[in-house]
Structure 1
Amino acid sequence: MKLRKLITVAMACIMVFSLAACGSENTQEDAAATETTTEENKAEEVEETAEALSGTVVITGSTSVEKILTDMIDEFTALNPDVTIEYTGNGSSAGIKDTKAGINNIGASSREVKDEEKEDTLAEEVFAYDGIAAIVNPANEVQDITMQQLSDIYTGKITNWSEIGGADAEIFIVSREESSGTRSAFEELTGVAEAGGLTSSAAVSEGNGPVQAAVAGNENAIGYVSFSFIDDTVKALKVDGVEPTAELAKAGEYKLSRPFLFVYYEDKATDAGLAFLEFALSEEGQICVEDHDAITVD
């Protein structure tokens, strides 16, 4: 009798354990199935998003951002082959005006948006910071210059290199066009704007590249360019004793620096345009900033 009871109890236990194991297996199978379904859904969503991202994005504005922006565009369109991004460098002021006139989707500026340009609906997005380098020909003896000396040169108060420790030669001044964000930032930071503005004897070049080329080809020239345009054809001067490097600009020690930013209208932005703006701030986008010696936003 006792044996029969023991057998009955044992059978009952076996059935309970079997049911529990079965239930566990079912639960694991259900969980695995749910996980698989979730991953498939995510994959489908990503695929649908990629397929939906298409069209043309027009960007106009600053030439200072050209190298960074070109790399960003290449990386972004490689990931989104159905998107075309057209970039034209025509100056920061022109880029902002184009945005407000509906000529572009995104404007690129290498300076702060001025009070008279601001609108409540005009969005601004800083994607990098940049330094402005005062450059001379490599043959020039001058190594260091002060902000006041830069102001005095560009307003015409200092006209000979011997006045700041250089050779006895007339200074050939190279500046940028009026719509240039680099020029606006340079003149504001050095005090040229407050001191009466650019001297009429200055040569005006459109774009960082032409300024760089003009200085490289003239031993007595001085100009200013974005950090990304410093190479061995020109010499970047220390300003107030501080080397023109991204690290020192980010630390606030190098004073000739400014923001790179996009301007756009949120209600007029396309999905592709918004996706590009997001990409510019992503880790991949910020690598493009670092690759050209500019300063990341983080």
Structure 2
Amino acid sequence: MKPQGNTKSLLYLLPGIALMGLIIVIWGFISKPSPLAGTARNDSADVKIFNASNAASLASLSDIPDGLFNYGGSTTFVPLRAQLEPFIEQTFPEFELRYTSPYSKTPGSSVGIEMLLEGQLSFSESSRPLKPQEYDTAQQRGIELEQIPIAIDGIAVAVHPSLAVDGLTISQLGDIYQGLITNWSEVGGPDLPIQPFSRPPSAAGTPEFFVENVMNGADFGQAVQFVDSTTAGLRQVESTLGGLYFASAPEIVPQCQVKTLPLAGADGAAFVPAYQAPLVRSADCPEQRNQLNVIAFRSGSYPLTRRLFVIVKVNGSTDEAAGRAYTDILLSPEGQTLIEQAGFVSIR
């Protein structure tokens, strides 16, 4: 009789065992990632997929040094670093990079080059070319510098979202920052005082480029208010009806709280936006965001573009090896793709 009792007990247990097995099978099925999940992955996950599919071409980059290297400089590179740093960490884990900010100064191209010459950095990033005096300072210290272009960037102009102005010519933009144009009514806008904002040209490469190429070397007017960062500049424009601020296009165009103003290269020329038309209104952002007009940057129809550089010390040291490795990664097909994803124009 005992065997019969065990058989009955087993018969009672079988439905439960079957149900448990079914649950395990269903859980295993639903826990598998969907093929579409990649569309919602973060940048880090995208980089992993990117590396796997491009391993062959990356293998050609053989001179990547091992070690920890400091670099710094231009804040224009911030959108690119967000893409590039995880890519390098996953692809070349022994090539460790640390962005190094100055202790008592605002980060920027000029400060980065200064830190490079002082031996604090292995290489630096710059949104402007080297100056003759920087070459001279390097030579006095027994250092040779080389600037290597890696991308093209557009400079965009931000205004308050409610400002009714079609656009500005490069000449008008320069006159505003010199204090020669002081009211928006002088350029087809409302009767409203203009309040220009900028980062200091003594520290940042973008204002230096602006002074040389938009203002023809003239000084900023007394009305210009200086800010420490692009974030601070955009906040000022957001709260100032007549305000305007310029910076790298990837830092301005996608923002919700400001409007990007189209520019024209000369009087009578068509205004060209730094964004892809039509303009996405602030009220529709962030559900929709303005996208960069990379086609106009590449063709040159947008009138305010410049090259971005990596500055390398030419002395046969591991610092030079690190700078050249960083440049080689940026100039590789994978690096140029990351440059485009960050909103810049590839040059290869």
TM-score range relative to shorter protein:
0.7 to 0.9
User: CA separation in 2, counterparts of 1:114 and 1:253?
Assistant: 27
User: CA separation in 1, counterparts of 2:272 and 2:172?
Assistant: 15
Q: Give SS of 1:64's match.
A: helix
> Partner letter of residue 243 of structure 2?
A
Which of 59, 67, 77 aligns to 1:65? It is: 77
CA pair 53-264 structure 1, distance change in 2 beyond 3 A: closer
**Counterpart of 2:309?**
261
Structure 1 residue 272, shift from structure 2 partner = 4.4
Which of 160, 164, 176 aligns to 1:153? It is: 176
**Counterpart of 1:239?**
263
> Partner letter of residue 245 of structure 2?
G
- Map of 1:214-233 to 2, 5 A cutoff? 214-229=236-251, 230-231=253-254, 232-233=256-257
**Counterpart of 1:23?**
none
Q: Deviations over 1:138-166 (max 9, x none)?
A: 11101210111111110011111111111
- The list of structure 1 runs, each at least 4 consecutive aligned residues, that deviate by more than 6 angstroms after superposition, is none
The answer on whether the counterparts of 2:159 and 2:245 sit within 8 Å (CA) in structure 1 is: yes
Q: Deviations over 1:115-135 (max 9, x none)?
A: 222257211111111010011
The runs of 5 or more residues in structure 2 that have no matched partner are 1-55, 102-106, 265-270, 275-292
Q: Give SS of 1:65's match.
A: helix
> Partner letter of residue 146 of structure 2?
A
The answer on whether the counterparts of 1:140 and 1:220 sit within 8 Å (CA) in structure 2 is: yes
Residue 293 of structure 1 pairs with residue 343 of structure 2: yes
User: CA separation in 1, counterparts of 2:205 and 2:212?
Assistant: 11
The answer on whether the counterparts of 1:56 and 1:85 sit within 8 Å (CA) in structure 2 is: yes
Structure 1 residue 295, shift from structure 2 partner = 0.8
The answer on whether the counterparts of 1:77 and 1:83 sit within 8 Å (CA) in structure 2 is: yes
> Partner letter of residue 59 of structure 1?
Y
**Counterpart of 1:86?**
98
CA pair 88-139 structure 1, distance change in 2 beyond 3 A: farther
Structure 1 residue 99, shift from structure 2 partner = 1.3
The runs of 5 or more residues in structure 1 that have no matched partner are 1-42
Residue 102 of structure 1 pairs with residue 119 of structure 2: yes
Q: Give SS of 2:273's match.
A: coil
Aligned pair count reads 249
Give the TM-score taking structure 1 as reference length.
0.77
What is the CA RMSD across the aligned residues, in angstroms? 2.1
Report which of the two structures shows the higher radius of gyration computed on alpha carbons.
1
User: CA separation in 1, counterparts of 2:261 and 2:242?
Assistant: 14
**Percent of counterpart pairs with the same letter?**
28
User: CA separation in 2, counterparts of 1:159 and 1:284?
Assistant: 46
- Map of 1:47-196 to 2, 5 A cutoff? 53-88=65-100, 90-118=107-135, 121-178=144-201, 179-193=203-217, 196=218
Structure 1 residue 209, shift from structure 2 partner = 2.5
Q: Deviations over 1:5-40 (max 9, x none)?
A: xxxxxxxxxxxxxxxxxxxxxxxxxxxxxxxxxxxx
Q: Give SS of 2:198's match.
A: strand
> Partner letter of residue 91 of structure 2?
L
Q: Deviations over 1:59-91 (max 9, x none)?
A: 111111111123212211111223321114611
> Partner letter of residue 85 of structure 2?
I
Q: Deviations over 1:198-245 (max 9, x none)?
A: 012211112322222222232211010101112232211111112223
User: CA separation in 1, counterparts of 2:96 and 2:241?
Assistant: 42
Give the TM-score taking structure 2 as reference length.
0.67
> Partner letter of residue 105 of structure 1?
S
User: CA separation in 1, counterparts of 2:222 and 2:118?
Assistant: 31
The answer on whether the counterparts of 1:211 and 1:225 sit within 8 Å (CA) in structure 2 is: no
**145-154 or 161-170: which moved more?**
161-170
CA pair 273-148 structure 1, distance change in 2 beyond 3 A: closer
